[in-house]
Chain A
Amino acid sequence: MLVVAGLSLSLGAVDVAGEQVAAVLAGRLGLDWFGEAGPQAVAVVWGIRMPRLLMGLVVGAALAATGSVLQGMLRSDLADPQLLGIGPGAAIGAAIGSGAGGVQGAIAGGVAAGVVTSFVVRRLYRQASIDQTRLILSGVALGATLSAWVGFVVFASNRSVVPPIEFWLLGGLAGSTWRAVGTATVFLFVAVGVLIAVSRTIDLLAVGPREAWHLGVDVDLTMTILFIVVGAAVGASVGAIGVVVFVGLLVPFLMRRLAGPIHRHLIPTAMLGGGLFLISADLVARLLIEPVELPVGLITAAIGGPLFLWLVSRKRDV
């Protein structure tokens, strides 16, 4: 992770030498071990790339944590906060919010709309609780519909203030500022804290809602709380960097093989994996067609999509 982080700070449209990066970081700590850093290096590394790196770590962690929780409580490897439609729903609120109050407004609007969309998905889940495939299909249809609405909102609003449609639907870490990182981090860490606190109950839900109820879990209440928290976390992440698909699908899937299915271990492991995955994807997005920067969601989709197909085809023989 440190290697990827170092490369993220160093490489890009303007390459900054390794010693310069180290000098900037040491300089911020009041040390001058690596000599004086040039003003351009400071601006690039500390002003642009550091917040971008941190945003990638924080949002990647949040997406992977919420993905783990959704997959656990819905008992489906195919659950992903964005694919279920929560992300695109949050993007509507985030786009409206960004017109009103910049990044802070986008995050606040994303949280509000994320929670609302999460409730809709919860309703769908209640109706489709017997059939997992139907839930996923409903989520995909919901996501497509809501994505169209994101477009309507974006094209109807002031284009000089509201970021373009590809930011919302494909994601991008490019504009991350220290301010945005701060706001997003507060939201995401509170949300993830709640998820870890109730992780034992998620384990019981993963066995089955009836079994969990027999063991004293208030299933209805717990599911509602989890959906609210997931909606808020996904909403905050969408407000900050737009919809980035498949992080919440792929990372929990891989980390479950590493950390096992117990959510107390799985969620923190997935957070590390999610952060690493997103900053790696961002690095690829920046370097693949230099100096053009690709939306990071293209990279995650290019990797995650095939995995999703494989999971679907494997499901049949279960």
Chain B
Amino acid sequence: MSEPSLVASGVSYRVKKATLIEDLDFQASPGEVVGVLGPNGAGKSTLLRLLSGELLPGAGTITVNGLSTRGASPEDLSRARSVLGHHIPTDIPYTVRSIVEMGRHPYRHDPAQTSERDRDAVEEAMRRTGISEFAGRVFATLSSGERLRVFLARVLAQEAPIVLLDEPTANLDVGHSESILAETKALARSSHTVVSVFHDLNAAAFYCDRICLLAGGRVRVTGSVPEVLRSEVLSDVYHQQMEVVDHPFRDCPLVLVVNHR
């Protein structure tokens, strides 16, 4: 495994008196998908916002591709990492192509990026996400699955080595969510660093290389998928009896919910 490109060490984050993240260490390296899991309120989204630089830690440091999030300009950060948020706006009046083109904004001052280069990146991103055929449509008229693909295309066009996703598939049906997750896996295979918040434990089990399980703003367990997805750990963290078996068709664990108490 190569050097970690995304490192958080000793990070704490408080809002007023509430501690949302406490003394947290986290790493992710090129080529892997790292899943961030945990019950509601565990600090998953806060961690992602800290990693993106959107929030600054009260203590500790976060480096994104060598840049400390404290002090790095938004423009430098935007060339280091892209973000696919949990909430995707619905009422945007722009066309699909315009939105994907916005992914090239980080390179507006970069003399090495020609307009052909920009156009190629946009076309490639739209082709990979299968949205080329409705490039001219207005975003607000799309279905939620199509909207997510457009935002994913924008992330691809941004060509940042680190990709952060906050529960990208939360509102999607199974077919759409599998295709989005497969695309993020492909990003990792082309040596991107992918960090994604997951709600669905079984999607995480299949698509992640490593998992960081949070509880109460701290890392409860971090490690490979079989190391983290164990029935004692999950039952304790989620306050719900769970069993873990081998997935009958996929080469990964399968988490099953058992009757309450």
Contacts and interface: CB of A to CB of B under 8 A. Distances in A.
Contacts of B89: 207-208, 211
Interface residues of A, number: 21
Interface in A194-239: 200, 203-204, 206-208, 210-211, 213-219
Contacts of A44: none
A38 B92 CA distance: 56
A214 B52 contact: yes
B54 A216 contact: no
B78 A211 contact: no
A241 B52 CA distance: 47
Given A204-B105, A216-B106, A256-B93, A211 B85 contact: yes
Nearest to B75: A216
A140 interface: no
B87 to A, nearest CB: 8
A213 B55 CA distance: 12
B99 interface: yes
A215 B98 contact: no
B38 to A, nearest CB: 22
Contacts of A211: 85, 89, 102
Nearest to B106: A216
A207 B150 CA distance: 13
Interface residues of B, number: 25
Contacts of A207: 89, 92, 94, 99, 102
B259 to A, nearest CB: 40
B190 interface: no
A216 B79 contact: yes
A216 B91 contact: no
Contacts of B73: 216, 218
Interface string A253-268: 0001000111000000
Nearest to B92: A207
Given A215-B103, A217-B105, A218-B73, A203 B98 contact: yes
Contacts of B98: 203, 262
A241 B77 CA distance: 45
Nearest to B98: A262
B83 A214 contact: yes
A213 B103 CA distance: 12
Interface string A164-191: 0000000000000000000000000000
B82 interface: yes
6 contacts: A203-B102, A206-B93, A214-B83, A216-B105, A218-B75, A256-B93
Interface of B: 52, 54, 73-79, 82-83, 85, 89, 91-94, 98-99, 102-103, 105-106, 108, 158
The 9 closest A-B pairs by CB, nearest first: A216-B78, A216-B75, A261-B93, A214-B83, A216-B106, A215-B105, A218-B74, A216-B74, A208-B89
